[in-house]
Structure 1
Amino acid sequence: MMSDGERLNWIRLARTHGIGPVSFFQLLRRFGSAGAALDALPELSNRSRRARPLQPPPPEQVEQELKAVHRYGARIVLSSEPDYPPLLRDLEPPPPVLTVLGNTGLAARPTVAIVGARNASAAGRKIARNMAAELGQNGFSIVSGLALGIDGEAHAASLESGTVAVLGGAIDHVYPPQHQRLYAEIAASGLIVSESPFGYRAKAQDFPRRNRIITGMSMGVVVVEAAERSGSLISARVAGEQGREVMAVPGSPLDPRAAGTNSLLHQGATLVRHADDVLDILATLDRRSVSAPPPRPFEYDPDAGEPSESELQRVVEALSPHPMPIDEIARASSLPAARCAAVLLELELSGEAQTLPGGLAAKAF
């Protein structure tokens, strides 16, 4: 059982600017606890070449956030706590902290994501509604992103059976504003989830993180309509990387809203026409294999000592703006993968590298 003090430290570390989920869990493995990692941040900042030191929010600020969340009727859950969404917990790494509003039991049921175009056609909207309603009647919670179009239809059709909305901004920031009423209905009978601190307003760069949570919470993702360059296709790619089943509804080659889904089918996604197809596919999945975490691409070696200037320079030279697997970076820098991971942690803390979910790293901008 985590103490209140360590729980506060966990949230402070997760809310520290410059520390993402990968570096968060690397720091936990390296120092043993969030409190010990916070104690080490000043020394790590002094050693780094970061212009601004790593500065966690003061305890009072996190306490105020906890109070504000409680007043709102929501609560904060950590990835180590039992009511954290189970499929999401098994990602490598999971978001360390979520704010949730509503029935967290919906995330523990079998789950499927339905996503698609904001400017959806009438046919696409009907498919999403029918699919969400029937999957809900068969015991599935429907997960989506509260966007206009396909997302909204999927949520509305599964209000009675159970729906989960994942937000890009804070739990108290309803976006788009046209979905104020839908948001209220989901808060009353479903579940709303956010990775962002209370009061935070979403920016464009926050939606890929939201999409990763949508797919990470789900056994599979159904894309109903999507243009060739769209967030739904990003969701499908991330779902594939997470080991989730990727399904797509085919559409007319003449409709640009079907170009993305048709492309997914060409690349190997499973074709689905209605809920029965989705049920047949999900019935073949072993939920234990869906939720099983992949092998960690690297581990921190506590006996290896601090990285040398030569090691730091070799890894910096191996990085590129495009994310690459850490084992490839290790090979290019002539370092063992575990040692490369330790060097990348130092470089991320100094603002020179980004470590990303899926065992990837890139040069920071």
Structure 2
Amino acid sequence: MTTPRRPLSEAERLDWLRLARTDAVGPITFHHLVSRYGSAGAAIEALPELSRRGGRRAGLKPPSVAEAKRELEALARIGGRLVAACEPDYPEALAAIEDAPPVLSLLGRGELATRPMVGIVGARNASLNGRRMARDMARELGEAGFTVASGFARGIDTAAHEGAFATGTLAVLAGGLDIVYPPENAGLYDRLGQSGLAVAECALGTQPTARHFPRRNRLISGLSLGVVVIEAALRSGSLITARMAAEQGRQVLAVPGSPLDPRAQGCNRLIRGGATLVESAEHVLEALAPQISAPLLREPSPMGPRSHSTALPEGGDGAEADRARAMAEVLERLSPTPTAVDELLRDCQLSPPVVLTVLLELELAGRIERQPGNRISLL
């Protein structure tokens, strides 16, 4: 049974933002902490001791209340606002993925995030035909009642946003909400603030870097019932988005192209691998009809109070010895090569709560890193 969604008080909002902006606290760890301790505030109090147990010399410290207030005030100055994953106006589809961002910054028409969504992504160096296909498909999907989501990149993304402006488009930014990238989309960004919606997971002022784009891609697919790929090379971010969509239980759709065009090879491979072939908005609507009648698909990530019990004893020499043995057993099975958490749980001679507690402590200490597909690697 999931915790009912509810608006946060201002104090709770600051706690959510502080915990979300803490180094080594990713989305999955955030939700585990709130589930375990009952609130973001209680989790913040527990951070120093948890990170010390994982091997961090200096206790993990979240941003101060003053720093969090400054971020909220700066967001308000540009007309934006912060929404937390437990609140009613957080996108329901996105809340259903395992690594849903604890907080999102929004600028523009917030109601666009509550409508059913289709993602359209593709090549940055798109052909004229590809861009026309993206614009026309986005316009027709918008007229059918969908918000069109994309990643604000050059080429197909830009064309999809342009095609859906009259009905509503959502842009997921790879950096902070106040950073326009690519720079030539400054005019598009201004229009988003007035008649569309811009969404960002990163803090204000964050410049987009290579590591931010896969995180952005998982949000495009997580927001959407299905993702349409229009032109993609074999090694492209669009194929990463398609893979994430499949992992999240979303439908993957692809527009076929000439085998002589490198920009079509990724789409053609997706179709050979089981993606739905589409050539028009009508095909997309036919493919998504089952999801439209029964939209989501899996339970939201834990975002509120559940069990407050701890998996390992909290004190005493015996407790420390037990914790050390559990830590050693988990570390022995990890390496820089990503390992599935489910596989680790099966292999360890420990209960799942103990293993998950050890992983939480190791992550807060900066000794492991979470990878897509519920995998972890040793740093």
Describe the shift of the 1:18–1:252 C-alpha distance in structure 2 as closer, same or farther (beyond 3 A).
Answer: same
| Aligned twin of 1:302 | 309
Partner residue of 1:115? Answer: 121
* 1:334 to partner: Cα distance: 2.5
Contact kept? 1:215, 1:221, Cα under 8 Å: yes
**Structure 2 residue aligned with 1:354:** 369
| Alignment of 1:316 onto 2:331 | yes
Output one character per residue of 1:299-338: Cα deviation in whole Å (capped at 9) or x when no partner.
9882432462121112112223333321101122233333
Cα gap change, 1:327 to 1:336, in 2 (>3 Å): farther
Q: Any idea what the Cα deviations from partners look like across 1:273-293, whole Å, max 9, x if unmatched?
A: 111100111112255453432
Letter in 1 for 2:312: G
Pairwise CA distance, 1:122? 1.3
Q: Report the Cα distance in structure 1 between the residues aligned to 2:267 and 2:74, rounded to whole angstroms.
A: 41
**Whole-angstrom distance in 2 between the partners of 1:201 and 1:103:** 24
Deviation at 1:358, TM superposition (A): 4.3
* Counterpart Cα distance in 2 of 1:313 and 1:238: 32
* Alignment correspondent of 2:66: 60
Report the AA paired with residue 360 of structure 1: R
**Cα deviation, residue 351, structure 1:** 1.3
- The code of the aligned residue for 2:342 comes to D
Using a 3 Å threshold, how does the CA distance of structure 1 residues 133 and 37 change in structure 2: closer, same or farther?
same
Percent of pairs identical after alignment? Answer: 50
Q: 1:355 to 1:136 in 2, by over 3 A?
A: same
| 1:338 partner amino acid | P
Letter in structure 2 aligned against 1:342: T
Q: Check whether the contact 2:36–2:310 (CA below 8 A) recurs between aligned residues.
A: no
Q: Distance in 1 between matches of 2:210 and 2:57?
A: 25
Under a length normalisation based on structure 2, what TM-score does the superposition of the two structures give?
0.91
Once the two structures are TM-superposed, the CA of residue 186 in structure 1 deviates from its matched residue by 1.4
Alpha-carbon distance between aligned partners in 1 of 2:54 and 2:301, rounded to the nearest angstrom: 30
Q: Which residue of 1 aligns with 2:298?
A: 292
- Answer whether contact 1:146 1:152 (CA < 8 A) is retained: yes
* Match of residue 232 from structure 1: 238
2:177 corresponds in structure 1 to 171
Task: Answer whether contact 1:128 1:154 (CA < 8 A) is retained.
Answer: yes
**Quick check: 1:26–1:300 contact (8 Å CA) kept in 2?**
no
Which moves more between the two structures, 272-281 or 309-318?
309-318
Counterpart code for 1:308: R
2:266 counterpart of 1:251: no
CA contact (8 A) 2:96 2:301 kept: no
1:222 and 1:56, CA in 2 relative to 1: closer, same or farther beyond 3 A? same
Query: Can you give the 5+ residue segments of structure 1 that lack an aligned partner in the other structure?
Result: none
Pick closer, same or farther for the CA change 1:86–1:294 going to 2, 3 Å.
closer
Q: Give the secondary structure class of the aligned counterpart of 1:80.
A: coil
C-alpha deviations, 1:95-154, integer Å up to 9, x for none? 001000011111111110000000011111111111111111111110000000000000
Q: Which has the higher relative contact order, 1 or 2, with Cα contacts under 8 A spaced 6 or more apart?
A: 2
In structure 1, distance between residues paired with 2:81 and 2:11: 17
State the Cα RMSD in Å.
1.9
Return closer, same or farther for 1:88/1:58 CA change in 2, 3 Å cut-off.
same
Q: In the alignment, is the contact (CA less than 8 A) between 1:136 and 1:162 conserved in 2?
A: yes
Distance between the aligned counterparts of 1:86 and 1:45, measured in 2?
32
Which deviates the most, 120-129 or 243-252? 120-129
Q: Return 5+ residue gaps in structure 2 as ranges.
A: 1-6, 314-321
How many residue pairs are counted as aligned between the two chains?
362
Going from structure 1 to structure 2, the CA distance change for 1:337 and 1:43 (only over 3 Å counts) comes to closer
What CA distance in whole angstroms lies between the structure 1 residues aligned with 2:297 and 2:290?
14
Go from structure 1 to structure 2 and tell me whether the alpha carbon gap of 1:212 and 1:264 turns closer, same or farther (over 3 Å shift).
same
Q: How does 1:1-365 map to 2 (within 5 A)?
A: 1-286=7-292, 288-293=294-299, 302-306=309-313, 308-356=323-371, 358-364=373-379
AA in 1 matched with 2:345: A
- Conserved 8 A contact 1:104-1:191: yes
Q: SS of the counterpart of 1:313?
A: helix
